Amino acid sequence: MAQKPAPLREQTRSVVRALIARTALELFAAKGYDDTTLEEIAAAAGVSKRTLFNYFRNKEDLALNGLSEQGELIAARLAERPADEDPWTALRAAFHALEEMETTLERRLELVTLLFGNESLRAGHAEKQARWQDLFAPLIEPRLPDSDHRPLQARAIAAAAITCLQAATEEWMRLGGQADISDLYDTAVQAIRRPASPPEKTTT
């Protein structure tokens, strides 16, 4: 006789949290973010609304819950990079950690479209990604030449890299996922690292 699955209350906190978050994203995709209620999410996940609030503060927290995990994963990969690697090369390699997340192309496109298609989620997404600076900057700093301004330089590089990643992600969404996001990121980085050429003079 097959063993019955453990009741929900006996599952680990991380499994329950992942279940609720996944259910919420499926409902957001099917009904739209604004038209989905917390009551519907709780019912679809098989938990009470009170239990849902034990894991998430609000609906926005549900939609954005994966960003903190992503930042920590990238930081872990950045810490593993060779010590003599320059910051931009190390960051680019560390960002590949996002490709390790277990998701399909369609699901990732669905999530990105959700995040950037809603003004409040877009703002929350940018705010949470900005917090990645606190994770990345201390790992970037030792890779920079000794200077009184090294902490500032490290934060500036972290902020710029995060902005480039966000710009690349938006462009990837605009292209319907039919592009290599790493190539788009490289293009964004080149734009800010390469000195701007003066506009060509026109002859009259």
Give per-residue pLDDT as tens, 105-161.
777 888 888 888 888 888 888 888 888 999 999 999 999 999 899 999 999 999 999
- Dihedrals φ, ψ of 51, to 5°? -65, -40
Written as six digits, the tokens of 129 are 């990604």
Residue-level pLDDT at 19? 86
pLDDT mean over 159-177: 93
Q: What is the pLDDT of residue 8?
A: 46
